[in-house]
Amino acid sequence: MSILPSTLQKLIEALGVLPGVGSRTAERYAYYLLRTDPSKARQLSETLKHLHTGIGLCKKTFALIEAGQEISPLYTDPGRDKQLVAVVAEPFDIMALEKIGKFKGTYHVLGGLVSPIDGIGPEQVRIRELVDRIDEDKVEEVILATNASVEGESTALYIQQLIGKRKVKVTRLARGLPIGVDLEYADQITLGRALEGRQTF
């Protein structure tokens, strides 16, 4: 028998499924929501309720977009160079590159990295779609902006092989990025220098 009301216990369990949130942290979050102004809890509840219906995926770049849109503004913006594509693993990696304010190309989100140990093969990430886009948009340079991890490197290598003999410059972010650090957590100065100093892959 639980010593907590079932509603509070269910909230703790729901919060506990979030990555990095242990049982003690989940309890603190739940208790905070119970003690705080009820309007804050209602706002959180409403936001979560519309999370999946309010967000879509760009059909071209696979970046996150507003529901109802088809193509990301980061692609349709006439100031963006469609012949320059930064390939990232996840949508939040775009935010990291956008914060530095130096990249004026477009993006391609793979939706993960090739990781045979986790059962993720090349066909389960959007590499084929990238190659199709290279042909459609006559892409001149592909920047492989995947993490400097085993998975990031193997994914980058697979992409390079699939691009094959196309006349496309393939570059990699410079190694100012520490090994094992996710792109979204890199500081803006380091990331900016890594972008500027990108090297032919």
Tell me, yes or no, whether 38 lies in a domain: yes
Domain count, the chain: 2
Helix, strand, or coil here: 173? coil
Kindly state whether residues 195 and 114 are assigned to the same domain: yes
From the list 149, 162, 155, 144, the residue with the least C-alpha distance to 201 is 144
> Is the pLDDT confidence value at 189 over 60?
no
The rounded distance, in Å, linking the Cα atoms of 170 and 189 is: 23
Output the pLDDT for position 164: 83
Same domain, residue pair 134 and 117: yes
Q: pLDDT band at residue 186, thresholds of 50, 70 and 90?
A: low
Tell whether 127 and 154 lie within a shared domain.
yes
Q: Is residue 193 part of a domain?
A: yes
Supply the pTM of this predicted model: 0.77
- pLDDT at position 69 is 93
Is residue 131 domain-shared with residue 89, that is, in the same domain?
yes
The model's pLDDT over 91-144, given as tens digits with 9 standing for 90+, comes to: 999 998 898 888 899 999 999 998 888 888 888 999 999 999 999 999 999 999
Question: Range of 20's domain?
Answer: 6-49
pLDDT of residue 89 exceeding 90: yes
Exposure of 63 by Cβ count < 10 A (0-12 exposed, 13-18 middle, 19+ buried)? Answer: buried
Tokens read off for 4 = 């907590």
**The pLDDT of residue 188 is above 90:** no
Angle at 129 between CA 178 and CA 193, to 5 degrees: 25
The closest of 94, 97, 199 to 156, measured between CA atoms, is: 199
- The enclosing domain of 44 has a CATH number of 1.10.8.420
The answer to whether residue 146 sits within a structural domain is: yes
Report the distance separating Cα 143 and Cα 172, nearest Å.
Answer: 6
